[in-house]
Amino acid sequence: MTLLRVEQIDSRYGLLQAVRGVSFDVTRGETVALIGANGAGKTTLLRTIAGAHRPHSGRILFDGADVTRVPTHRRVSMGIALVPEGRRLFPGLTVEENLRVAVVPRRRGRWNVQAVLEAFPLLQPRRRLLAGNLSGGEQQAVAIGRALLSNPRLLLLDEVSLGLAPVVVNAVYESLQEVIGEGTTVLLVEQVLTRALTVAGRVICLLEGRVVLQGDSRSLDRDRVVGAYFGLRRAAAGGAPA
Protein backbone atom coordinates (compact mmCIF):
# COMPACT_ATOMS: atom_id res chain seq x y z
CA MET A 1 0.00 0.00 0.00
CA THR A 2 1.28 3.46 -0.93
CA LEU A 3 2.34 5.60 2.04
CA LEU A 4 3.85 8.57 0.18
CA ARG A 5 2.82 9.92 -3.22
CA VAL A 6 4.65 12.81 -4.85
CA GLU A 7 2.79 14.28 -7.82
CA GLN A 8 4.42 16.66 -10.29
CA ILE A 9 6.29 18.62 -7.63
CA ASP A 10 8.05 21.81 -8.68
CA SER A 11 10.15 23.54 -6.01
CA ARG A 12 11.94 26.84 -6.47
CA TYR A 13 14.25 29.34 -4.79
CA GLY A 14 13.17 32.58 -6.38
CA LEU A 15 13.78 32.17 -10.12
CA LEU A 16 15.89 29.04 -9.61
CA GLN A 17 13.86 25.87 -10.16
CA ALA A 18 15.46 23.12 -8.07
CA VAL A 19 12.86 20.36 -8.57
CA ARG A 20 11.02 19.94 -11.86
CA GLY A 21 7.85 17.91 -12.20
CA VAL A 22 8.95 15.05 -9.94
CA SER A 23 6.50 12.18 -9.35
CA PHE A 24 6.94 8.87 -7.52
CA ASP A 25 5.33 6.63 -4.89
CA VAL A 26 6.82 5.00 -1.80
CA THR A 27 5.17 1.87 -0.41
CA ARG A 28 4.80 1.13 3.31
CA GLY A 29 7.95 -0.55 4.65
CA GLU A 30 9.97 0.28 1.54
CA THR A 31 13.46 1.79 1.55
CA VAL A 32 14.08 4.12 -1.39
CA ALA A 33 17.34 5.95 -2.16
CA LEU A 34 17.44 9.33 -3.92
CA ILE A 35 20.73 9.68 -5.74
CA GLY A 36 22.28 12.33 -7.95
CA ALA A 37 25.19 14.73 -8.12
CA ASN A 38 25.40 17.96 -6.13
CA GLY A 39 22.67 20.36 -7.23
CA ALA A 40 20.38 17.62 -8.52
CA GLY A 41 17.54 18.72 -6.20
CA LYS A 42 17.66 15.88 -3.68
CA THR A 43 17.80 17.96 -0.50
CA THR A 44 15.16 20.38 -1.76
CA LEU A 45 12.86 17.46 -2.55
CA LEU A 46 13.27 15.98 0.94
CA ARG A 47 12.66 19.37 2.54
CA THR A 48 9.54 19.80 0.41
CA ILE A 49 8.19 16.43 1.53
CA ALA A 50 8.95 17.30 5.17
CA GLY A 51 7.23 20.68 4.88
CA ALA A 52 10.37 22.76 5.36
CA HIS A 53 10.12 24.12 1.80
CA ARG A 54 6.82 25.01 0.12
CA PRO A 55 6.46 23.71 -3.46
CA HIS A 56 5.59 26.03 -6.32
CA SER A 57 3.18 23.43 -7.73
CA GLY A 58 2.21 19.77 -7.45
CA ARG A 59 0.87 17.67 -4.57
CA ILE A 60 2.23 15.54 -1.73
CA LEU A 61 -0.05 12.84 -0.35
CA PHE A 62 0.76 11.00 2.88
CA ASP A 63 -1.33 7.93 3.59
CA GLY A 64 -3.94 9.29 1.19
CA ALA A 65 -4.16 12.76 2.79
CA ASP A 66 -3.04 15.86 0.90
CA VAL A 67 -0.31 17.43 3.05
CA THR A 68 1.03 19.87 0.45
CA ARG A 69 0.10 22.90 2.57
CA VAL A 70 0.33 21.24 5.98
CA PRO A 71 3.01 22.87 8.21
CA THR A 72 6.08 20.95 9.29
CA HIS A 73 5.09 20.42 12.94
CA ARG A 74 1.79 18.85 11.90
CA ARG A 75 3.57 16.53 9.47
CA VAL A 76 5.76 15.38 12.36
CA SER A 77 2.66 14.58 14.42
CA MET A 78 1.29 12.66 11.41
CA GLY A 79 4.45 10.55 11.26
CA ILE A 80 6.93 12.28 8.92
CA ALA A 81 10.43 12.93 10.31
CA LEU A 82 13.43 14.52 8.60
CA VAL A 83 17.09 14.04 9.48
CA PRO A 84 18.51 17.17 7.82
CA GLU A 85 21.84 17.60 6.12
CA GLY A 86 24.28 18.96 8.69
CA ARG A 87 22.47 17.20 11.62
CA ARG A 88 21.49 20.48 13.36
CA LEU A 89 21.82 19.27 16.91
CA PHE A 90 21.82 21.46 20.03
CA PRO A 91 25.59 21.53 20.73
CA GLY A 92 25.16 22.78 24.30
CA LEU A 93 22.87 19.88 25.27
CA THR A 94 23.96 16.34 26.05
CA VAL A 95 23.22 13.40 23.77
CA GLU A 96 20.35 12.30 25.98
CA GLU A 97 18.92 15.82 26.18
CA ASN A 98 19.06 16.14 22.38
CA LEU A 99 17.07 12.93 22.16
CA ARG A 100 14.49 13.82 24.80
CA VAL A 101 13.56 17.17 23.25
CA ALA A 102 12.35 15.31 20.15
CA VAL A 103 9.77 13.12 21.89
CA VAL A 104 6.27 13.65 20.49
CA PRO A 105 3.99 12.77 23.46
CA ARG A 106 0.91 11.76 21.49
CA ARG A 107 2.77 9.48 19.06
CA ARG A 108 3.04 5.96 20.39
CA GLY A 109 5.54 3.45 19.14
CA ARG A 110 8.54 1.33 19.81
CA TRP A 111 11.09 4.15 19.90
CA ASN A 112 12.10 5.73 23.20
CA VAL A 113 15.47 6.99 24.44
CA GLN A 114 16.59 3.59 25.66
CA ALA A 115 15.58 1.89 22.40
CA VAL A 116 17.55 4.45 20.40
CA LEU A 117 20.64 3.96 22.57
CA GLU A 118 20.36 0.21 22.08
CA ALA A 119 19.98 0.60 18.30
CA PHE A 120 23.00 2.94 18.15
CA PRO A 121 25.46 1.36 20.61
CA LEU A 122 28.17 3.92 19.81
CA LEU A 123 26.02 6.44 21.71
CA GLN A 124 25.72 4.43 24.94
CA PRO A 125 28.99 5.65 26.49
CA ARG A 126 28.39 9.18 25.12
CA ARG A 127 24.89 9.79 26.46
CA ARG A 128 26.00 12.43 28.99
CA LEU A 129 28.48 14.22 26.71
CA LEU A 130 27.63 17.51 25.00
CA ALA A 131 26.59 16.98 21.38
CA GLY A 132 29.07 19.65 20.29
CA ASN A 133 31.93 17.43 21.51
CA LEU A 134 30.93 14.37 19.49
CA SER A 135 32.52 13.08 16.31
CA GLY A 136 30.68 13.47 13.02
CA GLY A 137 29.49 9.87 13.06
CA GLU A 138 28.24 10.15 16.63
CA GLN A 139 26.38 13.34 15.76
CA GLN A 140 24.77 11.62 12.79
CA ALA A 141 23.62 8.79 15.03
CA VAL A 142 22.09 11.31 17.46
CA ALA A 143 20.33 13.09 14.59
CA ILE A 144 18.80 9.83 13.34
CA GLY A 145 17.87 8.80 16.87
CA ARG A 146 16.23 12.17 17.49
CA ALA A 147 14.04 11.68 14.41
CA LEU A 148 13.12 8.16 15.51
CA LEU A 149 11.83 9.47 18.85
CA SER A 150 8.84 10.94 17.01
CA ASN A 151 8.05 7.31 16.09
CA PRO A 152 7.78 8.18 12.39
CA ARG A 153 5.98 6.19 9.75
CA LEU A 154 8.20 7.86 7.13
CA LEU A 155 11.85 8.63 7.89
CA LEU A 156 13.59 11.09 5.56
CA LEU A 157 17.39 10.90 5.75
CA ASP A 158 19.53 13.53 4.03
CA GLU A 159 23.17 12.71 3.19
CA VAL A 160 23.69 9.91 5.71
CA SER A 161 27.37 9.36 4.93
CA LEU A 162 28.45 12.92 4.07
CA GLY A 163 31.83 13.75 5.59
CA LEU A 164 32.11 10.49 7.52
CA ALA A 165 34.94 7.95 7.44
CA PRO A 166 33.98 4.60 5.83
CA VAL A 167 34.23 2.70 9.13
CA VAL A 168 31.86 5.18 10.76
CA VAL A 169 29.45 4.97 7.81
CA ASN A 170 29.42 1.20 8.26
CA ALA A 171 28.50 1.54 11.94
CA VAL A 172 25.70 4.02 11.22
CA TYR A 173 24.25 1.84 8.47
CA GLU A 174 24.43 -1.26 10.66
CA SER A 175 22.18 0.53 13.12
CA LEU A 176 19.93 1.73 10.30
CA GLN A 177 19.36 -1.88 9.29
CA GLU A 178 17.60 -2.42 12.61
CA VAL A 179 15.39 0.60 11.92
CA ILE A 180 14.57 -0.73 8.47
CA GLY A 181 13.96 -4.18 9.92
CA GLU A 182 11.35 -2.67 12.25
CA GLY A 183 9.30 -1.80 9.17
CA THR A 184 9.90 1.96 9.10
CA THR A 185 9.48 3.41 5.62
CA VAL A 186 12.70 5.18 4.63
CA LEU A 187 13.49 7.70 1.90
CA LEU A 188 17.17 8.56 1.97
CA VAL A 189 19.56 10.78 0.05
CA GLU A 190 22.88 9.06 -0.49
CA GLN A 191 25.77 10.09 -2.74
CA VAL A 192 27.72 6.85 -2.32
CA LEU A 193 26.25 4.72 -5.10
CA THR A 194 27.43 1.39 -3.73
CA ARG A 195 25.82 2.10 -0.39
CA ALA A 196 22.57 3.29 -1.97
CA LEU A 197 22.30 0.21 -4.18
CA THR A 198 22.97 -2.06 -1.19
CA VAL A 199 20.61 -0.62 1.44
CA ALA A 200 17.66 0.46 -0.74
CA GLY A 201 15.19 -1.76 -2.50
CA ARG A 202 14.58 0.95 -5.09
CA VAL A 203 16.66 3.82 -6.46
CA ILE A 204 15.48 7.13 -7.93
CA CYS A 205 18.12 9.18 -9.76
CA LEU A 206 17.72 12.95 -10.13
CA LEU A 207 19.51 15.14 -12.64
CA GLU A 208 18.94 18.90 -12.75
CA GLY A 209 15.77 18.50 -10.69
CA ARG A 210 14.20 15.77 -12.83
CA VAL A 211 13.83 12.02 -12.39
CA VAL A 212 16.00 10.47 -15.09
CA LEU A 213 16.08 6.87 -13.88
CA GLN A 214 14.33 4.74 -11.32
CA GLY A 215 13.93 1.06 -10.65
CA ASP A 216 14.67 -1.92 -8.45
CA SER A 217 18.24 -1.61 -7.17
CA ARG A 218 18.94 -5.29 -7.82
CA SER A 219 17.94 -5.12 -11.47
CA LEU A 220 19.42 -1.76 -12.49
CA ASP A 221 22.69 -1.98 -14.36
CA ARG A 222 25.40 -0.11 -12.42
CA ASP A 223 26.88 1.49 -15.55
CA ARG A 224 23.46 2.79 -16.45
CA VAL A 225 22.99 4.22 -12.97
CA VAL A 226 26.39 5.94 -13.16
CA GLY A 227 25.48 7.35 -16.57
CA ALA A 228 22.20 8.76 -15.27
CA TYR A 229 23.89 10.10 -12.13
CA PHE A 230 26.39 12.17 -14.09
CA GLY A 231 24.11 12.92 -17.04
CA LEU A 232 26.31 10.99 -19.45
CA ARG A 233 23.19 9.65 -21.07
CA ARG A 234 19.53 10.28 -20.47
CA ALA A 235 17.31 7.52 -19.16
CA ALA A 236 13.55 7.73 -18.86
CA ALA A 237 11.89 7.37 -15.47
CA GLY A 238 11.06 3.74 -14.99
CA GLY A 239 14.21 2.46 -16.66
CA ALA A 240 13.35 2.49 -20.35
CA PRO A 241 15.90 4.11 -22.69
CA ALA A 242 15.09 7.69 -23.61
C-alpha–C-alpha distance, residues 17 and 159, integer Å: 21
Strands of 65-66's sheet in order across: 16-27, 2-13, 57-62, 65-66
Give me the DSSP letters along 39-76.
TSSHHHHHHHHHTSS--SEEEEEETTEE-TT--HHHHH
- Comparing 192-196, 215-219, 232-236, the range with the smallest average pLDDT is 232-236
Which residue from 22, 34, 21 is spatially nearest to 217, judged by alpha carbons? 34
pTM more than 0.75: yes
Query: Is 116 in contact with 149 (CB distance < 8 Å)?
Result: yes
| pLDDT band, very low/low/confident/very high, at 191 (cuts 50, 70, 90) | confident
Q: Is the pLDDT of residue 101 over 80?
A: yes
C-alpha–C-alpha distance, residues 65 and 62, integer Å: 5
Q: Is the pLDDT of residue 236 over 70?
A: no
Three-state secondary-structure class, residue 189 = strand
Across 162-176, average pLDDT: 83
| pLDDT band, very low/low/confident/very high, at 229 (cuts 50, 70, 90) | confident
Query: What's the fold here for domain 2-230?
Result: Rossmann fold (3.40.50)
| pLDDT band, very low/low/confident/very high, at 8 (cuts 50, 70, 90) | very high
Which residue from 215, 214, 219, 176 is spatially nearest to 195, judged by alpha carbons? 176
Domain boundaries, the chain: 2-230
Q: Is the pLDDT of residue 93 over 60?
A: yes
Across 138-160, average pLDDT: 92
pLDDT, tens only, 193-206 = 888 888 999 999 99
The per-residue pLDDT of the chain, averaged, comes to 89
Report the range out of 43-57, 76-90, 130-144 with the highest average pLDDT.
Answer: 43-57
Q: Is the pLDDT of residue 122 over 80?
A: yes
